[in-house]
Chain A
Amino acid sequence: MSRRVADQPLIFARGLVKRFGDFTAVDGIDLEVAPGEAFGFLGPNGAGKSSTMRMIGCVSAPTSGELRILGMDPVRDGATIRGRLGVCPQLDNLDPDLTVRENLTTYARYFGLSRAEGRRRADELLEFVQLSDRANGKVEPLSGGMKRRLTIARAMVNEPDLVLLDEPTTGLDPQARHLLWERLFRLKQRGTTLVLTTHYMDEAEQLCDRLVVMDGGKIVAEGSPRSLIQSYSTAEVVELRFPDGLDGNAGYAAKLDGVGERVDPLPDRVLVYADDGDSAVAEVHRRGLTPASVLVRRSTLEDVFLHLTGRTLVD
């Protein structure tokens, strides 16, 4: 295709800014997402993830900076670009008065597809998201996970080059999340480029080849989940809980100084970052400390996040 040169990034941003009045939601970010990548925006609410996604989705114009989507200008070529995107928004906007299948066939028409093609793709996608048995049912009685799967099927109806998922599993129960992840993983295997926002560490680790951590409208770190953990955390983390922990954790942190590379007192526990967790635990006991519980685990993105933003992810 002439419109897409091989290896040209699907998303290219330099100094991208979005302001709402005095509030700067996105504060000068640089991005590049290559075809076939699964790319994630990780960050707490208000970090600027959704504003960035809306600019990428060509529904909100950048305040300043350069943005190219599929090699085109999102302001001038918005409709053309949107024709090649699949969007799964944070808030469900399915048509409650249409059937499950009609939601897909109606949406297919927005992309100019013929009725026959819309029906064909609807059936194929309902199969893919495991909703074929609900095809002629209403949307309203579907569970949250089913609705989200339907929304993802709807986002795929135009066979998009780029799929945008804004917090795809927020509010879903664990089973529904795992089913959704599995479906998204299949998409990824097919070579579909995925861009998603999440505030779930496990989601980012499961799905993303590469991600950026956003905080206060800025990108504070970028890399693969593994490289981020390597750069900003240690191989293992020891979680210590003390009986009088709620008040005394800062005091314990002082006593733990020098155990491992870094000690982080949280309200309910003290985290000790160490490449060898077991020897760190041995050192804790040697210092005569008696935690109520000890857990040695591998480092996760949550630890990276704690280190980078200095706070836990909260809604």
Chain B
Amino acid sequence: MTAGAVHPTVAVLERHLTLYRRLWQASVFSSFVLPVLFLISIGIGVGRYVGSIQDVDYLSWIVPGVLASTAFQIAIAESTFSVLGDFKWVRGYHAMRATPVRPADMIGGHLLYLVFRVEGAVLAFLLVVVFFGGLHSPWALVTPLVCALLTVAAAAPVTAFAASIDHDSYFALLFRFVVIPSTLFAGVFFPVEQLPAVVRPVAYVSPLWHAVELCRAATLGRAPAWPVAAHAGYLLACSAVGVFLAVRAFHRRLED
């Protein structure tokens, strides 16, 4: 390798960043403004009626939930149309396929880009939250790491899905039956223990719930529902399976 040479995965990341530099304005509202609006309207508005929950004020309780769910939303939204589009309309993956870039590099570059996007939103959100007094423990510093893990755990399987379908109408099913339920029942705005026992497994399979639990444990400085290793292990497992499925889907789609 000569000076300035680059790994194909990084080259793919750079392409996403170059595109983002041109299109970033479109995502400012959903990535940076919306989470804060959520926090203000629900945290303060609803919080006034709720008072405190599990011994902390409601706003502090939902901060980690809104944080993780912001990461979750970005990870999924950016792995649907843009992935399918690079197969169907832009054919950017076909262009890469003609070069030394391999499917694993395409997926790696995509996920690194999403982590970058998520971390931007996460850090901005944490900065705002500090002024609301929403962080109660120095462990809050690990939340960006948890959000990075959640990003991969959520984005990788969705990327595999997007690479396997032929029409964007399938995304409506994904949002209706997977994303919305797993957001609603993931302990973002209320503890999953409030749910009837039959619904609770929906939370347990959602990667978002595991990330919310870890983030909440970090920002409030207490232990999560399950052992940390179990939550982190579940997120790692989702990531590994997702990446495996995505690599396979990309190979199939680009092969013949």
Q: Which of A's residues lie within 8 Å of B, judged by CB? A: 20, 57, 59-61, 79-80, 82-83, 85, 87, 89, 91-98, 102, 106-107, 109-117, 158
Q: Are A109 and B98 in contact (CB under 8 A)?
A: no
- Report yes or no: B22 in contact with A97, Cβ–Cβ below 8 A: yes
Per CB-CB distance, the 8 closest pairs between chain A and chain B, nearest first, are A114-B4, A93-B91, A109-B11, A87-B98, A110-B99, A93-B95, A83-B100, A79-B100
Contact of A97 among B1, B19, B98, B100 (CB under 8 A): B19
How near does chain A come to B29, taking the closest CB pair, in angstroms? 19
Q: A112-B5, A114-B2 are in contact. List 4 more A-B contacts (CB 8 A).
A: A59-B98, A87-B98, A95-B19, A112-B1
B11 near A59: Cβ-Cβ < 8 Å:
no
Q: How far is the CA of A116 from the CA of B4 in the complex (A)?
A: 8
Interface residues in B, total, Cβ within 8 A = 32
Q: Is the CB of A110 within 8 A of B91?
A: no
Indicate if B15 sits at the interface (CB-CB under 8 A).
Answer: yes
Q: Are B8 and A110 in contact (CB under 8 A)?
A: yes
Q: In chain B, what residue has the closest Cβ to A60?
A: B256
Supposing A59-B97, A89-B98 touch, asked if A102 and B18 sit within 8 A by C-beta, the answer is: yes
Does B14 interact with chain A (Cβ within 8 Å)?
A: yes
A112 pairs with B18, CB closer than 8 A = no
Cβ-defined contact, A60 with B95, below 8 A = no
Return chain B residues, CB-CB under 8 Å to A106. 11, 14-15, 18
Q: In the complex, A102 Cα to B6 Cα: how many Å?
A: 16
Query: B128 at interface (Cβ–Cβ under 8 A)?
Result: no
Contact indicator A95/B15 (Cβ below 8 Å):
yes
Residue on A with the closest CB to B3?
Answer: A114
Q: Complex: how many Å from CA A20 to CA B256?
A: 8
Chain A min CB distance to B219 (Å): 37
A132 to chain B, nearest CB (A): 20
Specify which chain A residues have a CB less than 8 angstroms from the CB of B5 in the assembled complex.
112-114
A237 → chain B closest CB, angstroms: 40
B100 pairs with A80, CB closer than 8 A: yes
Cα A106 to Cα B98 in complex, Å, equals 14
Choose from A79, A85, A93, A102 the contact partner of B90 (Cβ within 8 Å): A93
At the interface, yes or no: B23 with Cβ under 8 Å from chain A? yes
| Residues of chain A contacted by B10 (CB below 8 angstroms) | 109
Which residues of A are found within 8 Å of B92, using beta-carbon distances? 93, 95
User: Which interface residue of A20, A89, A93, A114 has the most chain B CB atoms within 10 A?
Assistant: A93
Give min CB distance, A78 to chain B, whole Å.
8
- Interchain CA distance A158-B15 in the complex, whole Å: 17
Which B-chain residue is minimally distant from A57 (CB atoms)? B98
Instruction: Considering the complex, give the chain B residue whose CB is closest to the CB of A103.
Output: B95
Q: Whose C-beta in chain A lies nearest to the C-beta of B101? A: A110
CB-nearest residue of chain A relative to B10? A109
Q: How far is the CA of A183 from the CA of B212 in the complex (A)?
A: 58
Contacts of B8 in A (CB 8 A): 110, 112
Q: Considering the chains assembled together, what is the distance between the CA atoms of A59 and B101 in angstroms?
A: 11
Do B91 and A91 touch across chains, with their CB atoms under 8 A apart? yes
> What are the residues of chain B within 8 A of A79 when measuring CB–CB?
100, 102
Give the chain A neighbours of B94 by CB distance below 8 A: 89, 91, 93
Contacting residues, chain B, for A107 (C-beta < 8 A): 95, 99
B193 at the interface (CB under 8 A from A): no
Closest chain A CB from B106 CB (angstroms): 10
Interface status of B56 (Cβ within 8 A of chain A)? no
The answer to whether B90 and A95 touch across the interface, beta carbons within 8 angstroms, is yes
Shortest Cβ distance from residue B227 to the other chain A in the assembled complex, whole angstroms: 41
Instruction: Tell me whether B255 is interfacial, beta carbon within 8 Å.
Output: yes
* A92 / chain B contacts, CB cutoff of 8 Å: 91
Interface check B254, CB cutoff 8 A: yes
User: How far, in Å, is B196 (CB) from chain A's closest CB?
Assistant: 47
Closest to A116 in B: B4
Known A61-B255, A93-B95, A96-B90; contact A117-B18, beta-carbon cutoff 8 A: no
B96 within 8 A of A: yes
7 intermolecular pairs with C-beta atoms under 8 Å apart: A59-B255, A79-B102, A85-B98, A94-B95, A95-B15, A95-B19, A110-B96
State in angstroms the CA–CA spacing of A58 and B58 once bound together.
57
Q: Give B173-216 interface residues, CB cut-off 8 Å to A.
A: none
Q: How far is the CB of A171 from chain B (nearest CB, A)?
A: 16
Cross-chain contact A110 with B100 (CB below 8 angstroms): yes
Q: Which residue of A lies closest to B11 (CB)?
A: A109
